[in-house]
């Protein structure tokens, strides 16, 4: 049975919410109700827990205790149902700089599914006034334009609830005024909006209700019609300081007004995006962005070719010794270049908040893993396809043998399967460049040994029966660790 919200009931209901980060308690038994059609401005000093609350509502962070329901769905157990009904705008735009505005929206539209994607992209760009710049790369946009495009991204799948975390951060007066106009249009469509803000004057002009969060709790709440013009600042200061005693929330309205949506604004079907479609969307996005910027591949290739050249001049060996050293040199080159690529691939997702954008989509999160794994594998194999002929010319050794190409494929699959998972884990830390090799190399040792041994046997023309065990080890390693990554990825990406 699909959860639903009856007339007059809260679309967001939070009871006894507790959130701890280690010994630090950020939210302390927080209670909150937001009703359909409301525009709630969530106010509070720095460190009050506003962003943490929104991340929990967005299913990006698990509560330590308490109950959270959105649209009748309970978090975190029914998070997929919640994600289909949410649009989120955060401090970061969650957009890819090497894709155009239209390509960004098309990518997110594929993740969210639904029909008439072209029409929805046109409507979203028209709403935020970016139709004329739809084919420009997002990295050429100003901060205000990126924030407007972030609004378009959040509205593309026609969400019932919009969460805005300090959307005015970094905007000038003109960009802020334009964002005001966009939010008024969105509110007029009857969406439920929760916005955190430090700008009380702007919140007073937009919101229909104000709630003050202080020391991890909602300490006061008031509707716009219940507070005089110009009194919001005094109300806020009184709530934060606690002077005059607690200010209880007002009674909930019996039937909050929900303005009708404009013609053509019917919500798309609420179905989960198929696994394969989500995987291919992530793969397409990575390939399109990389072949436009060539940032990741260039770094990998330069590094790999530099290693080969250094070994070529450093190892002045006879042909027999070179043949014996080739498997080790080849796999040192591929693994270190692969590590560089894995680090950069996940850093791109983290730096602009795009990893959160992926996690907000109503898809099986393992599809995100497989999409990233396939793109990383494609980059590593492309580097191998360039490096191996160069190596063959420099060392006068034929590496373009079918059996050896099979070993490179099997070894690369195992390396990328584990590396993508651990890169996702390490990218959350400040020392990600150092941490990834520390985590990866001990785990990948069995596959590397098998790849080196199998490569050596093929180059020495040994009978296949003599190296069959190494092939079997590579295949088993690939299957086991790919399955493990599939099962644990959802837990790895949780905050």
Task: Say if residue 340 is exposed, middle or buried (CB neighbours under 10 Å; 0-12, 13-18, 19+).
Answer: buried
For 290, phi then psi, to 5°, come to -70, -40
Q: How many beta carbons lie within 10 A of that of residue 105, not counting itself?
A: 25
pLDDT value at residue 260: 43
Q: Is the pLDDT of residue 251 over 60?
A: no
Q: Pairing mode, if any, of strands 192-196 and 161-165?
A: parallel
pLDDT band at 266 (very low <50, low <70, confident <90, very high): very low
Q: 102 or 494, which is more confident? A: 102
Q: Is the pLDDT of residue 272 over 70?
A: no
pLDDT value at residue 310: 85
CA-nearest of 106, 485, 104, 81 to 277 is 106
Q: 248 or 173, which is more confident? A: 173
**What tens digit of pLDDT does each residue of 414-464 get?**
999 999 999 998 887 777 778 888 999 999 999 999 999 999 999 988 998
pLDDT value at residue 269: 41
pLDDT value at residue 4: 54
SS (H, E, C) 143-194: HHHHHHHHHHHHHCCCCCEEEEECCCCCCCHHHHHHHHHHHHHHHHCCCEEE
Poorest-pLDDT segment among 47-61, 116-130, 192-206, 311-325? 311-325
pLDDT value at residue 3: 55
pLDDT value at residue 132: 94
β partners of residue 164: 89, 195
pLDDT band at 264 (very low <50, low <70, confident <90, very high): very low
pLDDT band at 1 (very low <50, low <70, confident <90, very high): very low
**What tens digit of pLDDT does each residue of 316-375 get?**
667 777 788 889 889 999 999 999 899 888 888 887 788 999 999 999 889 999 999 999
Residue 386 three-state SS: helix
Rounded to whole angstroms, how far apart are CA atoms 422 and 318? 39
**What tens digit of pLDDT does each residue of 66-84 get?**
999 998 889 888 888 888 8
pLDDT value at residue 320: 78
pLDDT band at 258 (very low <50, low <70, confident <90, very high): very low
Residue 27 three-state SS: strand
For 261, phi then psi, to 5°, come to -75, 150
Q: Is the pLDDT of residue 2 over 70?
A: no
pLDDT value at residue 475: 96
pLDDT value at residue 268: 41
Model's pTM, two decimal places?
Answer: 0.86
Q: Is the pLDDT of residue 13 over 80?
A: yes
pLDDT value at residue 95: 93
> What mean pLDDT, rounded, does the chain reach?
86
Rounded to whole angstroms, how far apart are CA atoms 478 and 384? 18
Q: Is the pLDDT of residue 271 over 80?
A: no
Residue-wise over 114-125: b if at least 16 C-beta within 10 A, else e? beebeebbebbb
pLDDT value at residue 255: 44
């Amino acid at each position: 049975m699909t959860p639903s919200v009856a007339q007059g009931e809260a679309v967001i209901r939070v009871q006894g919410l507790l959130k701890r980060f280690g010994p630090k308690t950020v939210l302390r038994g927080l209670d909150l109700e937001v009703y359909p059609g409301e525009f709630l401005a969530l106010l509070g000093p720095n460190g009050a827990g506003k962003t943490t609350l929104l991340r929990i509502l967005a299913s990006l962070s698990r509560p330590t205790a308490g109950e959270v329901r959105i649209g009748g769905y309970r978090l975190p157990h029914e998070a997929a149902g919640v994600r289909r009904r949410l649009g989120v705008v955060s401090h970061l735009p969650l957009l890819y700089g090497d894709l155009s505005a239209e390509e960004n929206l098309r990518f997110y539209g594929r993740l969210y599914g639904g029909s008439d994607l072209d029409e929805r992209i046109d409507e979203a760009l028209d709403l935020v006034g970016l139709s004329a710049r739809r084919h420009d790369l997002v990295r050429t946009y100003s901060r205000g334009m990126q924030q407007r495009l972030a609004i378009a991204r959040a509205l593309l799948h026609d969400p019932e609830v919009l969460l805005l975390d300090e959307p005015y951060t970094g905007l000038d007066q003109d960009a802020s005024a334009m964002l005001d106009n966009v939010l008024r249009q969105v509110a007029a469509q009857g969406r439920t909006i929760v916005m955190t803000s430090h700008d009380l004057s702007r919140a007073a002009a937009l919101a229909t209700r104000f709630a003050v969060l202080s020391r991890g709790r909602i300490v006061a709440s008031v509707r716009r019609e219940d507070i005089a013009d110009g009194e919001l600042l005094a109300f806020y200061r009184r709530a934060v300081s606690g002077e005059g005693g607690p200010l209880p929330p007002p009674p909930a309205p019996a039937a909050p007004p929900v303005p009708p949506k404009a013609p053509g604004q019917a919500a798309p079907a609420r179905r989960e995006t198929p696994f394969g479609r989500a995987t291919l969307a992530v793969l397409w996005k990575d390939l399109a962005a990389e072949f436009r910027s060539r940032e990741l591949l260039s770094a990998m290739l330069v590094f790999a070719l530099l290693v080969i050249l250094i070994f070529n001049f450093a190892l002045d060996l006879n042909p027999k010794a070179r043949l014996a050293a080739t498997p080790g040199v080849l796999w040192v080159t591929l693994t270190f270049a692969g590590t560089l690529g894995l680090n950069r691939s996940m850093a791109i997702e983290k730096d602009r908040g795009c990893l959160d954008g992926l996690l907000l989509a109503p898809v099986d999160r393992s599809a995100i893993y497989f999409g990233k794994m396939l793109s990383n594998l494609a980059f590593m194999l492309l580097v191998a396809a360039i490096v191996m002929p160069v190596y063959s010319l420099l060392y006068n050794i034929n590496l373009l043998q079918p059996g050896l190409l099979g070993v490179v494929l099997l070894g690369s699959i195992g390396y990328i399967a584990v590396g993508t998972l651990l890169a996702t884990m390490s990218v959350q830390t400040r020392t990600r460049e150092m941490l990834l090799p520390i985590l990866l190399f001990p785990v990948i040792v069995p596959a590397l040994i098998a790849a080196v041994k199998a490569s050596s046997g093929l180059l020495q023309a040994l009978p296949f029966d003599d190296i069959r065990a190494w092939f079997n080890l590579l295949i088993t390693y690939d299957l086991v660790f790919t399955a493990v990554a599939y099962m644990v990825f959802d837990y790895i990406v949780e905050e």
